[in-house]
Amino acid sequence: MFKKLFGKEEKIDKEVLVSPVTGQVVDITEVPDPTFSEKMMGDGIAFKPTDGTFVAPVDGEVVNLFPTLHAIGIKSKAGVEYLIHIGLDTVMLDGEGFTAHVKQGDHVKAGDSLVTVDLDFVSQKAKTITPLVVTSQVASLAKNIDQSVVKGETEILTVNL
């Protein structure tokens, strides 16, 4: 209310993201696809999931849920856009093995369930390594990589705006 009255907005200078999945976190340069490893879409990190439940890494809005359910775009409250690309070559599965728990336009809190994936099924037909890309321009990223992570709990990325 005071923001509206006095024109003062809270300045957000960083966002801290939690892991969207349980597993191992690695640098994005380890993703065996140049689109991600060469940071063509933006910088980020990647996950080797051990569990098929993917959750929101940050509070925000689901701005894109691909019809094949393999990729989710989230715009945070600070206006930063993130892409979670579940696996590689998973678009070819046409949604098989994926169950969405959100739809485009939904507002989510960090830790809210996004998509459940049958990892055994997907791993037989595609790669399960999952990039998380910051697709907006930001000042810098601080990555917590090369560690085991728990979905919705482990802090994995600090985005400086």
Whole-model pTM above 0.85? yes
Q: Give the C-alpha separation, 82 to 79, whole Å.
A: 10
| CATH number where 49 lies | 2.70.70.10
Catalytic residues: 85
Q: How do residues 95-130 score in pLDDT, each as one tens digit? A: 999 999 999 999 999 999 999 999 999 999 999 999
Q: Give the C-alpha separation, 141 to 154, whole Å.
A: 16
Q: Residue 76: phi, psi to the nearest 5?
A: -75, 170
**Which residues constitute the domain of residue 41?**
20-160
Does 10 reside within a domain? Answer: no
Q: How do residues 36-51 score in pLDDT, each as one tens digit? A: 999 999 999 999 999 9
Q: Residue 95: phi, psi to the nearest 5?
A: 90, -10
Does 104 reside within a domain? Answer: yes
* pLDDT band, residue 59 (cuts 50/70/90): very high
Does 156 reside within a domain? Answer: yes
Does 5 reside within a domain? Answer: no
Number of separate domains in the chain? 1
